[in-house]
């Protein structure tokens, strides 16, 4: 990266390719005292962030961890977490951010899959992994109070400078895991080119040196990272919350004069439900973003009416491909849609045979853009299944969602082709939960569906056919939830004599949802 770009990091975003670590180096050189990261009372400016990244990168090189190797982080949000993530990127090392609320078996499977050379953990994650053999074979570095080798002791000495590592656009930036309960995690490999494309769109959404971005979703989630990296690439300030709490969020937003945020729809609902929401001064907000889950039109309208600043919804996948953008403030008559394809994004609809559908017809959403995963880690067959090529050989990522374009080119989502339950903004895969249920000796078969939840957006419930009538559904629920991660736990199990099926034997999950709505009132 040349000296001209170093003097003007905003200019780098106009180039074909760059890196987040170079952007931060440039901001540290231009405005070293500008706040980069905040959490509670702790503040880190760009000079301190840049120096901390150097210490992480130098320590990795000291320990013989080469570029393109992988490290894993399993912890709650913290400034140390962010510095480790960014410092590893400076060393050319791939980062696998893991969800600490998953079971120890699931986390260990992910560690094995990505081949992590080091695992950075906090106390909560370490306690669940302590007795697991696979985790024990990975050297742990402790952050946020864990009693393994402390991060402060592991870091290279203050003032250390790592050897420069040239990063190529196709090199793996991070591996984000979408599942893991079955012991077969699916790692989404996102290359540096994909993350650079995310950063390049930062100015479009108002990220700037004077922007303050409040993030309460976790750093292991792509939902968070698509806002985290553009905010820093533009030299703004990122305020992190370790855990989402509606009142604490509103106080922080007011006190810090927050300009930007990324929230999943259920968080918007919980914030608006705070009794004195309207008493908070939120006039500083310029941009509120949302992604990861269906966003009801009525809720969008309420956000627009009660919360200053623009509201933008992104529809896309962690795998990348095409993204649709709804600038809700500008298109109040389109709140039932997810918007139009982002500039440079090619979104098409295909039928079950892989043929493009006609105007106005419904089909599976597929997309192509500069922001696309390399593939699923060590899973070429699943990568091929997620890929579609048009007649010219252009590569698209399949979404598994069914939708149609209206007459104005706005995408209306009709249903999810895959049985993905989105709870609290996180994907919960029915197959994972069904596998756990069916591992119980008393269960013949099971089907899991998502039902509406005021708290989580959706919550999973199961219908189970028992081998033995003496198996109690409530006891089975307790047994299964003890084997699932926190975000995967089921709200209810209904014992049934048989599962409804189509003539070709497919379980009719829509019928199960309708049956549950008539039986129970979900949380």
Which two structure tokens, joined as six digits, stand for 42? 């702790």
408: number of Cβ within 10 Å: 10
* Contact present, 73 and 176 (Cβ < 8 Å): no
pLDDT given for residue 2 in this prediction: 41
pLDDT given for residue 47 in this prediction: 98
Distance between CA 399 and CA 321 in Å, rounded?
9
Residue 195 belongs to a domain: no
Residue 194 belongs to a domain: no
Residues 182, 56 within the same domain = yes
pLDDT given for residue 135 in this prediction: 58
Distance between CA 232 and CA 225 in Å, rounded?
11
pLDDT given for residue 175 in this prediction: 98
Residues 133, 27 within the same domain = yes
* Contact present, 372 and 319 (Cβ < 8 Å): yes
Residue 68 burial (CB < 10 Å; 0-12/13-18/19+)? Answer: middle
Give me the CATH number covering residue 337: 2.30.38.10
Residues 427, 507 within the same domain = yes
- CA end-to-end span of the chain: 53
Residues 280, 213 within the same domain = yes
Distance between CA 365 and CA 390 in Å, rounded?
13
pLDDT given for residue 95 in this prediction: 98
Residue 115 belongs to a domain: yes
Last residue of a domain, one of 188, 221, 250: 188
Q: How many residues does the chain have?
A: 523
Last residue of a domain, one of 376, 393, 416: 416
Residue 196 belongs to a domain: no
Q: Kindly state the helix (H) or strand (E) to which residue 118 belongs, with its residue range.
A: strand 118-121
Give me the CATH number covering residue 499: 3.30.300.30
Residues 38, 168 within the same domain = yes
* Contact present, 433 and 181 (Cβ < 8 Å): yes
Residues 227, 294 within the same domain = yes
Residue 127 belongs to a domain: yes
User: What is the bridge-based pairing of β-strands 70-74 and 94-98?
Assistant: parallel
In the three-class reduction of DSSP (H, G, I as helix; E, B as strand; rest coil), residue 455 is classed as coil
pTM for this predicted structure: 0.84
Q: How many domains are there within the chain? A: 4
Last residue of a domain, one of 164, 188, 212: 188
407: number of Cβ within 10 Å: 7
Residues 459, 408 within the same domain = no
Residues 127, 70 within the same domain = yes
Distance between CA 331 and CA 304 in Å, rounded?
11
Per-10-residue mean pLDDT for the chain, 523 residues long? 56 90 96 97 97 98 97 96 98 96 85 93 76 67 76 96 97 86 75 96 96 96 96 98 96 98 91 97 98 86 98 95 97 96 97 92 94 96 96 96 93 75 81 86 90 90 85 92 92 92 68 87 52
pLDDT given for residue 381 in this prediction: 96
Which two structure tokens, joined as six digits, stand for 91? 């060393």
Residues 49, 159 within the same domain = yes
Categorise residue 435: left if φ over 0, alpha if ψ from -120 to 50, beta otherwise: alpha
Which two structure tokens, joined as six digits, stand for 339? 């918007």
Distance between CA 342 and CA 51 in Å, rounded?
36
Give me the CATH number covering residue 159: 3.40.50.980
Residue 504 belongs to a domain: yes
Residue 64 belongs to a domain: yes
Categorise residue 225: left if φ over 0, alpha if ψ from -120 to 50, beta otherwise: alpha
pLDDT given for residue 401 in this prediction: 87
3: number of Cβ within 10 Å: 9
Strand runs labelled E in 390-491: 395-405, 411-416, 420-423, 426-429, 443-453, 457-466
Distance between CA 399 and CA 387 in Å, rounded?
9
Residues 210, 347 within the same domain = no
Helix 297-306, helix 265-272: angle, nearest 10:
50
Distance between CA 215 and CA 209 in Å, rounded?
17
Residues 370, 392 within the same domain = yes
Distance between CA 91 and CA 161 in Å, rounded?
11
Mind spelling out the 3-state secondary structure of 3-35?
HHHHHCHHHHCCCCCCCHHHHHHHHHHHCCCCE
Residue 455 belongs to a domain: yes
Residues 72, 152 within the same domain = yes
Q: What is the DSSP code string of 264-331?
A: -HHHHHHHHTSTTGGGS--TT--EEEE-SS---HHHHHHHHHHS-SEEEEEE--TTBS--EEEETTT-
Range of the domain at 390: 318-416
């Amino acid at each position: 990266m040349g000296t001209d770009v170093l003097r003007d990091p905003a200019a780098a975003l106009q180039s074909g390719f760059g890196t987040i670590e170079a952007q931060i180096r440039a901001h540290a050189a231009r405005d070293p005292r500008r706040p980069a990261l905040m959490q509670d009372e702790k503040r880190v400016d760009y000079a301190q962030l840049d120096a901390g990244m150097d210490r992480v990168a130098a320590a990795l090189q000291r320990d013989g961890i080469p570029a393109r190797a992988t490290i894993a982080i399993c912890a709650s949000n913290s400034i140390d977490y962010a510095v480790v993530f960014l410092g590893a990127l400076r060393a050319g090392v791939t980062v696998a951010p893991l969800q600490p609320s998953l079971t120890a078996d699931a986390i260990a499977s992910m560690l094995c899959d990505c081949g992590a050379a080091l695992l950075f953990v906090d106390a909560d994650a370490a306690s669940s992994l302590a007795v697991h053999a696979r985790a024990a074979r990975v050297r742990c570095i402790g952050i946020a109070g864990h009693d393994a080798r402390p991060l402060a002791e592991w870091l290279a000495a203050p003032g250390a400078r790592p050897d420069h590592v040239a990063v190529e656009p196709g090199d793996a930036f991070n591996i984000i895991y979408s599942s893991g309960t079955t012991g077969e995690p699916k790692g989404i490999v996102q290359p540096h080119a994909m993350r650079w494309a995310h950063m390049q769109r930062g100015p479009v959404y108002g990220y700037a040196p004077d922007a303050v971005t409040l993030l309460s979703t976790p750093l292991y989630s792509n939902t968070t990272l698509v806002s985290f990296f553009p905010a820093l690439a533009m030299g703004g300030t990122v305020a992190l919350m370790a855990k989402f709490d509606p009142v604490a969020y509103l106080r922080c937003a007011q006190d810090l004069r927050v300009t930007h945020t990324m929230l999943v729809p259920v968080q918007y609902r919980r914030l608006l439900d705070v009794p004195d929401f309207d008493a908070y001064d939120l006039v500083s907000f310029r941009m509120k973003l949302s992604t990861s889950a269906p966003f009801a039109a009525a809720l969008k309208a309420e956000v627009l009416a009660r919360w200053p600043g623009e509201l933008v919804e992104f529809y896309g996948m962690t795998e990348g491909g095409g993204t649709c953008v709804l600038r809700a403030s500008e298109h109040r008559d389109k709140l039932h849609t997810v918007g139009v394809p982002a500039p440079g994004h090619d979104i098409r609809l295909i039928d079950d045979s892989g043929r493009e559908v006609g105007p106005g017809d419904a089909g599976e959403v597929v997309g192509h853009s500069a922001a696309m995963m390399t593939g699923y880690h060590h899973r070429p067959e699943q990568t091929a299944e997620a890929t579609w090529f048009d007649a010219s050989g252009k590569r698209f990522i399949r979404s598994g969602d069914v939708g149609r374009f209206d007459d104005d080119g706005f995408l209306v989502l009709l249903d999810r082709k895959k049985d993905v339950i989105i709870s609290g903004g996180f994907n919960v895969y029915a197959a994972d939960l069904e596998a756990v249920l069916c591992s119980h000796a008393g269960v013949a078969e099971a089907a899991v569906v998502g039902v509406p939840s005021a708290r989580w957006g959706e919550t999973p419930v199961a219908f189970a056919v028992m081998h033995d009538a003496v198996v109690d559904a409530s006891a089975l629920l307790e047994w299964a939830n003890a084997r699932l991660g926190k975000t995967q736990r089921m709200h209810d199990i209904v014992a049934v004599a048989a599962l409804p099926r189509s003539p070709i034997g497919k379980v009719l999950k829509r019928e199960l949802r309708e049956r549950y709505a008539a039986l129970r009132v979900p949380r």
